[in-house]
Structure 1
Amino acid sequence: MPANEALREFLRARRARLTPEEVGIPDGNGPRRVAGLRREEVAQIVAVSVDYYTRLEQGRVAPSQEILLRVGQALRLSEDECAHLLTLAHPARADLDGDGHYELRREMRWVLDAIRTPAFVLGRCLAIVGTNEAARRLLVDFDARPARERNDARWVFLDPLARERYLDWDLVARDNVASLRRQAGRFPDDRRLADLVAELTAASPEFARWWAEHDVVQHRRGCKRYRHPVVGDITIAYEAFPVSGTDDQILYVYGTEPGSPSDAAMERLLR
């Protein structure tokens, strides 16, 4: 069985986050050469041999879900990180069907256009596959850009306008990296995704640094703060909804707190 580099690097990064004290292991062996837990310490917590855990980390065994969940508990993984671990340990071959992952169904277009507040659909590689008029007013008119530039990660990291528009650019940018890292685990054979990661790694020191941290996240809900050049600062809440019939398209819908300054700003934006 060939080595699983993605699994190995993810588990190494997660081991490096923890200290023996955090997991209840006495650290009486003096200074450590590297940060975090050793493999033998993780093996001890998981109750497997060091040899087995080493082969597991290298992707040279097919661990059961029970063992993987025990590894997740030992490394204090979040729900998203546990799901990522399961995906990396048992990778599925990606469904590569040309541009199908980057196209919006006409019915979904109707839904987008019917939503009054900002809404858009992200697909594979964080491609922006569809926006409504309100989203184009709040962010930028992605529909008017070349197809290659309709990408949330490229916009956030390579377009200076994104740093002006997002009041918390670093948080948004890190979330982008974590989203791409999760997709890389789900779709390991997607060349377009690999090329995007290589491009951003070469172009952005921040992207390269955060990519090496192996953080993963699945966006479900949250808040973002924008600074719009016409209506000023706006704080929005968003909810994410999987698009039916796809395994990688997500609809994001924005809203503002009724009666708030952000709500008033949004009303001015939508006039």
Structure 2
Amino acid sequence: MLAGVSVNYYTRLEQGRERRPSDQVLDALARVFHLDAEAAEYLHQLARTRARRCGVDGEDEQVTPHVLRLLDSWDHGPAHVLNRRTDVLAQNALMVALFEGLEHTDNVVRMLFLDPAAKGFWTAWEQEAHRVVAHLRAVVGADHEDPSLLELVEELSEESEDFQQMWARHDVRYRRGDAIPFRHPLVGDLILWQEAFSVDSAPGQRLITMQAEPGSPSEEALAKLGAMRA
């Protein structure tokens, strides 16, 4: 009623029997549901049937030499390249040192939810986990027929009750810059500011960089970690 559509139409829409809702209807539903801009965009994506993106299998897993050189030269902090599934495609030495000793370091979501040590490593684990799940939900919504993404979600839902509960919330949020607190077993507590950059030459890839505030204890801890790694 609030959205100005009939109960019958809305039922067909929820059941997937109404395939071409107008932008006006979707905007009205977003308003009624109090969705923010990202969640409203997600709603529009779900309502639009589109052909699967064409491309070569594994194309989002190839990191170009130019990006690899940039990654190796980034000595201000940990950095790595992820694809949409949060698989780690490449990383610099400081990122290797940061996550050394943890399990599932080849995929960030698996590391967060399937490694028993993760909740002690990320000192604000629940907040970080919610952020990552909301980002994954946004990515799946943009390409919800990708079998590799769906397989990852199914695997995590079966093996992690925490993931299952967070996924059921249907939160949608693309990852932004965040300050992330860690407790590293060798250098102690540190807070790193994370920023993500899209790799335009490889759609789906993101370059993730982390830095400590200049002159902070975290910068000292990061320098110590780098020295130990060297």
TM over 0.5: yes
2:63 equivalent among 90, 95, 104: 104
Structure 1 residues 215 and 54: CA distance shift in structure 2, 3 A:
same
Counterpart of 1:204 in structure 2 is 160
The C-alpha deviation readout for 1:81-129, integer Å capped at 9, x for no partner, is: 1121111011433335311122211211111111111111110211111
Structure 1 residues 242 and 91: CA distance shift in structure 2, 3 A:
farther
Structure 1 residues 216 and 138: CA distance shift in structure 2, 3 A:
same
2:85 equivalent among 125, 144, 159: 125
SS at match of 1:254: strand
Structure number with the higher helix fraction is 1
1:92 equivalent among 33, 47, 50: 50
1:94–1:188 Cα contact (<8 Å) kept: no
1:94–1:186 Cα contact (<8 Å) kept: no
Between the aligned partners of 2:190 and 2:42, the Cα distance in structure 1 is: 33
Matched, 1:192 2:152: no
Matched, 1:69 2:19: no
Matches within 5 A, 1:1-271: 44-61=1-18, 62-95=20-53, 97-116=56-75, 117-140=77-100, 150-271=106-227
The aligned amino acid for 1:94 is R
1:91–1:188 Cα contact (<8 Å) kept: no
The aligned amino acid for 2:185 is P
Identity %: 34
Q: How far 1:218 sits from its partner (Å)?
A: 0.5
Counterpart of 1:29 in structure 2 is none
Q: How far 1:141 sits from its partner (Å)?
A: 7.7
Between the aligned partners of 1:149 and 1:237, the Cα distance in structure 2 is: 20
The aligned amino acid for 2:34 is R
Task: Name stretches of at least 5 consecutive residues in structure 2 with no aligned partner.
Answer: none
Structure 1 window deviating more from structure 2 (94-103 vs 203-212): it is: 94-103
1:92–1:186 Cα contact (<8 Å) kept: no
Q: How far 1:165 sits from its partner (Å)?
A: 1.4
Greater Rg, structure 1 or structure 2?
1
RMSD: 2.0
Between the aligned partners of 1:258 and 1:137, the Cα distance in structure 2 is: 20
Between the aligned partners of 2:122 and 2:28, the Cα distance in structure 1 is: 38
Deviating 4+ runs (over 4 angstroms)? none
SS at match of 1:126: coil
1:112–1:131 Cα contact (<8 Å) kept: yes
1:181–1:215 Cα contact (<8 Å) kept: yes
Between the aligned partners of 1:66 and 1:136, the Cα distance in structure 2 is: 48
Between the aligned partners of 2:161 and 2:173, the Cα distance in structure 1 is: 21
Q: How far 1:235 sits from its partner (Å)?
A: 0.7
Structure 1 residues 72 and 203: CA distance shift in structure 2, 3 A:
same
Between the aligned partners of 2:172 and 2:56, the Cα distance in structure 1 is: 25
Q: How many equivalent residue pairs?
A: 224
The aligned amino acid for 2:22 is S
The aligned amino acid for 1:70 is A
SS at match of 1:236: strand
